[in-house]
Amino acid sequence: MSEGRSRAAMKSQQLDDRKLRILLAVIDDYVHTAVPVGSRTISRKYETAFSSATIRNEMSDLEELGYLEQPHVSAGRIPTMKAYRLYVDTLLRDSRHPDEKEAQAVREFFFSRVRQVQDVVESTAGVLSDLTHYAAVALMPRQLDLKVISLQLIPMGSGTALLVIITDGGVIRNSVVHVSSAMDADSLYAISKVLTNRLAGHTLQEVTEMLATYSRYSGADTQVCMAIADMASQMARQTGSDTIAVSGSHNILYYPEYADVEKARAFLSVLETKERLLSLLPVVQEGMAVRIGQEMGVSEMRDCAVVCAPYRIGVGHYGLVGVIGPARMPYSRVLGVLDTVGDALTALMGEAVR
């Protein structure tokens, strides 16, 4: 032990090449097996040049340096959060190499599923969880000052029309409203035109207020105005809070660290509560972000990690997609997938908005 300590002290804090290789081997093995890795395994499977005893010494040093830990005295070692952090940091420093073949697959998978402007967020989460086999989240952040671009009433049948409100930032909503049955398509269009002229460029909040004050509006009856005001305020409320979609959260049950139902439940309950889920996600506008273990600040997520990539919605608006799973995660692959999906989303949203 005293030898180990002196060696560690002597050998400096940053790892020499062999230590690093061994550490990476331990991480790699543990990521695949979820079983504490013994010195013999490393010497056999990875670092054939040295005996298990040598590896043992190195692993002992790595433990002292805080990169490995033992569940109990006579078990193999498992990587600490610090080790994952080191690993991820090297990955992040390298330029992305999303394995073009896989990236292509991602894009195909992605575009085959994400079609409706409406539910991009949900589809994306679905795609991501399918691809990674982890829980996936997609976040469309709060957009406070959405401006109305256009507003349209489309006849649906006797006395009803579909109201469509289009805003910048790609947010579109529709809702059924009752109108006087005398209205035909042309008069609805005329009203839509007047309304659009009058309301375009104003925020949803303003629209709500404007319609509430003018009870009657150049030909449109009060009922319609009220319905529109109602919908605008509802949209303002909805877009005023973050839209977040989670998918594949029960993938967690496939990982041995969650063989305990109690743990799985704790994990899932965090994902279920919007506020707690949001608190896990970092803010990113460029590159990728990874939060590991305690970095998330939620005790239930102590041994989890979240990997996130941003996507751009409008000019200054950024959304976020992410994957949540056990800290033992094939980061390289996950980072690649997220990078590709983020890019694809930016492209898609740019097209929808611009």
List interacting residues with DNA (CB under 7 A): 1, 3-4, 35-41, 49-54, 56-57, 59-60, 63, 70-77
Q: How far is the CB of 253 from its own copies (least distance, A)?
A: 5
Q: How far is the CB of 27 from DNA (least distance, A)?
A: 14
Q: How far is the CB of 236 from its own copies (least distance, A)?
A: 13
Contact pattern for its own copies over residues 233 through 252, marking x by CB under 8 A: -x--------------xx--
Residues 90-129 binding its own copies (CB under 8 A) are 115-119
Instruction: Pull the structure tokens for residue 285.
Output: 């506008």
Q: How far is the CB of 29 from its own copies (least distance, A)?
A: 24
Instruction: Pull the structure tokens for residue 242.
Output: 């973050």
Cα–Cα distance for residue pair 185/285, rounded to 1 Å: 44
Tell me the backbone φ, ψ of residue 351, rounded to 5 degrees.
-65, -45
SS3 at position 135: strand
Does 162 interact with its own copies (rule: CB under 8 A)?
Answer: yes
List the single partner that 265 binds among DNA, its own copies, none, CB under 5 to 8 Å by kind: its own copies
Instruction: Pull the structure tokens for residue 120.
Output: 């991009």
Task: Determine contact, residues 68/59, Cβ cutoff 8 Å.
Answer: yes
User: What count of other Cβ atoms lies within 10 Å of the Cβ of residue 290?
Assistant: 26
Task: Determine contact, residues 72/58, Cβ cutoff 8 Å.
Answer: no
Residue 34 vs residues 16, 253, 290, 326: alpha-carbon distances, Å: 26, 14, 20, 10
Size of the site for its own copies (CB under 8 A): 43
List the single partner that 53 binds among its own copies, DNA, none, CB under 5 to 8 Å by kind: DNA
Q: How far is the CB of 38 from DNA (least distance, A)?
A: 3
Binding residue for its own copies (CB under 8 A) from 67, 84, 134, 258?
258
Q: How far is the CB of 5 from its own copies (least distance, A)?
A: 41
- Which residue's CB is nearer to its own copies, number 76 or number 169? 169
Q: How far is the CB of 342 from its own copies (least distance, A)?
A: 20
Cα–Cα distance for residue pair 330/223, rounded to 1 Å: 56
Residue with tokens 């070692």: 77
Q: Which DSSP string do the residues of 179-248 spell out, in sequence order?
A: --TT--HHHHHHHHHHHHHHHTTSBHHHHHHHHHH-SSBTTB-HHHHHHHHHHHHHHHHHHTS-EEEEE-
List the single partner that 63 binds among its own copies, DNA, none, CB under 5 to 8 Å by kind: DNA
List the single partner that 59 binds among its own copies, DNA, none, CB under 5 to 8 Å by kind: DNA
Residues in contact with its own copies by the rule CB under 8 A = 115-119, 149-150, 152, 154-158, 160, 162, 164, 166, 172-176, 185, 189, 193, 196, 234, 249-250, 253-254, 258-261, 264-265, 268, 272, 351-354
